[in-house]
Amino acid sequence: MTKLSEHLYTAAAAKYLGVAQNTISKWAARRDIPVHRNPANGYRLFRRDELDAFLKKVSKPVTNTTKKTK
């Protein structure tokens, strides 16, 4: 069982991923990222390890597309 301290609320998860809160909510609604609910108040909660896994899944390597000139 995971501890509540291992979770982030929507605002903190958005900051962690570098996106807007609305984006996190949309991803959760589309089930792109796993979402849990706080049993006391029903707020959305996101586990850091699951957010990391999501980032790893969707990340693309950055390549240098600029041409070098002599």
* Annotated domain spans of the chain: 4-57
Cα 16 to Cα 11: distance, rounded to the nearest angstrom: 9
Q: Which two tokens stand for residue 63?
A: 């390549």
Contacts of 48 (CB under 8 A, 6+ apart): 6, 7, 8, 16
Q: What is the mean pLDDT of the chain?
A: 88
Class of domain 4-57: mainly alpha
Note the pLDDT of residue 2. Answer: 63
Note the pLDDT of residue 39. Answer: 86
Q: What is the mean pLDDT of residues 37-48?
A: 92
6 contacts 47 by C-beta, under 8 angstroms: yes
Q: What is the mean pLDDT of residues 11-36?
A: 95
Cα 58 to Cα 70: distance, rounded to the nearest angstrom: 36
Note the pLDDT of residue 6. Answer: 84
